[in-house]
């Protein structure tokens, strides 16, 4: 999942009122007297959040592959494993 600019701003300031146009930090409209955050702060946080999300997805895939290997070690064939995990 791609972490967007508005999602990033809300991670930094949960009460922020903003309008984001695409994924461009130069096209943020700050609403309701929301304090403006510097672009470098937003982009750094976006990178941090994206790295966390990517790591989470990689960890889930690793666990899935580990579970598949364990099922095969128990004697299940490819079709049985696919049936169990819903592929």
Residue 29 tokens read as: 């409209």
The tokens 């990033």 sit on which residue? 8
Confidence at 45, pLDDT banded by 50, 70, 90 = very high
**CB burial string 1-31: b at 16+ within 10 A, e below:** eebebbebbeeeeeebebebeeeebeebeee
Residue 52 is part of which domain span?
5-85
Other C-beta atoms lying within 10 Å of the C-beta of residue 67: 13
Confidence at 54, pLDDT banded by 50, 70, 90 = very high
Alpha helices, DSSP H only, in 1-87? 5-12, 39-73, 78-85
Entry pTM: 0.79
Residue 49 tokens read as: 């959040």
Across 20-36, average pLDDT: 94
Domain count, the chain: 1
Q: Which pLDDT belongs to residue 84?
A: 87
Is the model's pLDDT at 64 over the cut of 80?
yes
Confidence at 38, pLDDT banded by 50, 70, 90 = very high
């Amino acid at each position: 999942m791609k972490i967007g600019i508005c999602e990033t701003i809300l991670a930094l300031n949960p009460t922020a009122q903003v309008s984001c146009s695409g994924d461009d930090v130069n096209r943020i409209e700050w609403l309701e007297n929301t304090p403006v955050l510097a672009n470098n702060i937003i982009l750094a946080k976006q990178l941090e959040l994206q790295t966390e999300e990517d790591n989470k997805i990689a960890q889930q895939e690793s666990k899935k592959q580990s579970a598949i290997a364990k099922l095969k070690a128990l004697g299940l064939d490819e079709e049985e494993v696919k049936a169990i995990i819903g592929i």
